Structure 1
């Protein structure tokens, strides 16, 4: 079992090529979403997921009000530029 940052970083870097070919499932709300491991570096791992606009609206229309699609919809809907915030 990994117990500290150095062990975590070391294992990630040792397995970098293999990790970048993997997908990780993360539960959000009532659903589970797959993310690509887009990058493995010395300080962090980059997770990436493409969320299509059609999928967002279909999920909302189907009643998914606590999943990733709802989070993205709310983020875009409530977004204000830096100029708008002032």
Structure 2
């Protein structure tokens, strides 16, 4: 869905308000994906659930206590986009 939105808005004329809003939205989505998604590859033998995870310098890292405190908390897209972590 994010890609469809990006492609659809790719033809907007620069300088109009809608284009500026679309750019802001795309930057927010990029921030969320960069900081909160981790790539993983299964490396375990058959029947063994073992994965190698690829973290980047941008990946948000939390300790177990902080993660536990955040469990069940919901944030809006704007709150996540505006967060300075």
TM normalised by structure 2 equals: 0.25
Choose between structure 1 and 2: higher strand proportion.
1
